[in-house]
Structure formats: C-alpha cells, structure tokens
Amino acid sequence: MMPEKRLLDQVREKIRFKHYSYRTEQTYVYWIKRFIFFTMNNPN
C-alpha cells in the first residue's frame, strides 16, 4: 500500500500534468501555503 501524497505534491503533479509553466507551479504552491498558514493562525 502506498502512502498518500501530500497536498502540495498533488498540486504540483496536477499542474505538471496540465503542462503549466514552472513559474505558475511555484506561484500556485506559494499561494496555497499562504492560505494554509493564514487559516491556521486565524481560526475564525
């Protein structure tokens, strides 16, 4: 049984599958990280 992939790894895989540019991949990952940190620090 394979372990589940982490969220950002899944995002990167999907972006690469769609043939987006590397810079686009970096930007998506950056904004997802910011959103996660924001929601963790602001419970409301």
Distance CA 13, CA 1 (A): 20
Asked whether the predicted pLDDT for residue 7 surpasses 90, the reply is yes
pLDDT exceeds cutoff 80 at 2: no
Q: Which pLDDT belongs to residue 17?
A: 97
Q: What phi and psi, each to the nearest 5 degrees, are found at residue 3?
A: -70, 150
Tell me: the pLDDT tens digits for 8-36?
999 999 999 999 999 999 999 999 999 99
- Is the overall model pTM greater than 0.85, yes or no? no
Q: Which residue has the tokens 């930007």?
A: 27
Instruction: Name which residue leads in pLDDT, 5 or 42.
Output: 5
User: What band does 3 get if pLDDT is binned at 50, 70 and 90?
Assistant: confident
**Read out DSSP for 11-38?**
HHHHHHHTT--HHHHHHHHHHHHHHHHH
